[in-house]
Amino acid sequence: MLRLVTGKAKFATFQRRVGGPRALAVGLLELLWHFTAANAADGSIGQHSDEEIEAWIGWNGEPGALVEALVASRWVDRVAGAARLYTHDWHDHADRSVHMRLGRERRRFGNGTAPKLGYLPADERRAADEWYAGHPQEPAPEVRRNSAEVVGQGQGQRAGAEEQGQEQRKKRRPPAASAAPAAAPTTEPAAPEPLPPEDPAEGFEAEKLINLLGAENRERALPWLVESLPHLVAAARKDLAAKKMPRPDRDALTAAVKERMFAFWKQHKLGGGTATEARASPLKRFDAPPTVEQIREAYRGQGRA
């Protein structure tokens, strides 16, 4: 369950539509995500009928009312074609097991996004990377918000900005010279759909790493870690590359990310600090990637665990 869900306005809308206490609405959403993971790992739950979805979740209200409430409050998207229904932003919120399953089965999410391959072991990840690189993303199904609006999955919010940008570029173009002959119209091939960017955090989860900083730092450190995690991973890879490890295995990268996290967190608490101080770490003494307990013990000795 995403802990921030109950603070969203659309959660209140969903609770009002299904009736009952907040606990009922939370449970229904949690079961929706369990149903998706178990029966439609790519997020395309519309391959099942509304009756099947509601029966699996355990809905005892009016038939069809739960699915309609989920769509109206934007927890589920109506999409064009056979997919019919897609669990909203499933490609962002699916857990590690879903990404690993889709990666091993060489499948994409229902909106065309590739799974996060960083969860796979190194040998499987390399093979999967090659496969997805050779199989470009197909156009995503259209999302139908209502009868008057049809937008592409993940593109609706960008459509207006892109149209405005095109108009501005047209205005900035210099007028063609009057003496120049008119160019024959040409038809340029459409640009290929860009592949989704790789996960900058490479599968590392702030919710799990934050526990290493201690319970007393959790509330303050979690927002910082969520924002900083991609930078920590990049810095850890740079450290390993300097140690002649340009392609480290997962254990080595994990240890380097944890080391960077502790150093950066100390620098963050001090209000900046120096680069030299940020890099100083008791983990340098380990020749092999340290275990979680070794990391805790090393930093406990410096008052940082």
- The three-state secondary structure class of 79 is strand
Report the pLDDT value the prediction gives residue 54, as an integer from 0 to 100: 96
Domain segments of the chain: what residues? 5-146, 206-300
Report the pLDDT value the prediction gives residue 45, as an integer from 0 to 100: 95
Query: Which pTM value belongs to this model?
Result: 0.48
Say how far apart CA 171 and CA 226 lie, in whole Å: 40
Q: Which residue has the tokens 């790789």?
A: 198
Question: How would you class 267 by CB atoms within 10 Å of its CB: exposed for 0-12, middle for 13-18, buried for 19 or more?
Answer: middle
**% of residues, the chain, pLDDT over 90:** 32
Q: Which residue numbers in the chain have pLDDT < 70?
A: 1-3, 139-201, 215, 268-305
Report the pLDDT value the prediction gives residue 87, as an integer from 0 to 100: 95
Report the pLDDT value the prediction gives residue 48, as an integer from 0 to 100: 95
**Ramachandran angles phi, psi of 110, nearest 5°:** -60, -20
Report the pLDDT value the prediction gives residue 193, as an integer from 0 to 100: 44
Report the pLDDT value the prediction gives residue 30, as an integer from 0 to 100: 93
Say how far apart CA 15 and CA 9 lie, in whole Å: 10
